[in-house]
Amino acid sequence: LTVALGQIGNFLAYTAVPTVLVTPLGALGVPFGSILASYLLKEKLNILGKLGCLLSCAGSVVLIIHSPKSESVTTQAELEEKLTNPVFVGYLCIVLLMLLLLIFWIAPAHGPTNIMVYISICSLLGSFTVPSTKGIGLAAQDIFHNNPSSQRALYLCLVLLAVLGCSIIIQFRYINKALECFDSSVFGAIYYVVFTTLVLLASAILFREWSNVGVVDFLGMACGFTTVS
């Protein structure tokens, strides 16, 4: 139930503001998760862990201040053009090949002993989940309009929903596997950094939100993300 509510909150956030802002703010889940784990799971949170939680919050504030204030893709037509961009298609093909390699060859042998295997699988899937979530919000705006593009919007929305559903199911499976083998606070922190980095890369290729960011804001966001990481 809590995971479902979290995904709904993420969906609403991605449809309202630029991806480059929403994804890094997932860092706020790290201190909350670490504090809850220390009380509920009796995992030890030492002084460095508490300092890390504080830095996560401080970096998030800097990200909010310097994030883009407007969307770079606002219509279904723009979304379709971006999704068929050869650079983005090539990036997704590389991600898919890496996922197949990790899931079928590396994870069975090294997953329980190397935390980066499960984290890499879940993070690479973010290259599908976040753009799909953003795309569903854009396509849904045209589904109920009585115009020729509404049918195309419906098909696009269904395809993105299927991709999103499959990605989330696989993510949940490997997140649970990771939490069975590794400390939840350690997993949450490393997962955040890798996931956010890959999602920002995918979003930069697809939505090109960085093109609306000035030099000062770009440096501010880089500093904020570095502080969080």
Q: What is the pLDDT of residues 80-94, one digit of tens each?
A: 777 788 888 898 899
How far out from the chain centre does Cα 138 lie?
A: 17
Q: Chain centroid to CA 147: how far? A: 32
Residue 215: Cβ-neighbour burial (10 angstroms; 0-12, 13-18, 19+): exposed
pLDDT at 41 over 90: no
In this predicted structure, what is the pLDDT of residue 184?
77
Please tell me the pTM assigned to this model: 0.78
Domain segments of the chain: what residues?
Answer: 1-228
CB hemisphere CA count around 117 (13 angstroms): 20
Q: Which residue has the higher pLDDT, 20 or 54?
A: 54
List strand residue ranges (DSSP E) for the chain, in order. Answer: none
pLDDT for res 11: 67
Residue 177 scores a pLDDT above 80: yes
Closest-CA residue to 49 (of 25, 30, 62): 30
* 98 pLDDT above the threshold of 90: yes
Cα(164)–Cα(130) distance, rounded to whole angstroms? 8
pLDDT value, residue 70: 60
| Residue with more model confidence, 12 or 190 | 190
Give pLDDT, residue 106. Answer: 94
Mean pLDDT of the region 180-208? 81
Section 147-159 average pLDDT:
76
One-letter amino acid at 18 equals: P
Query: Regarding predicted confidence, which is higher, 74 or 188?
Result: 188
Q: How far apart are CA 177 and CA 175, in angstroms?
A: 5
Closest listed residue to residue 24, CA positions, set 212, 160, 219, 222:
222
How confident is the model at residue 71, as a pLDDT? 59
Question: Cα separation of 182 and 112, whole Å?
Answer: 8
Question: What was the pLDDT predicted at 69?
Answer: 65
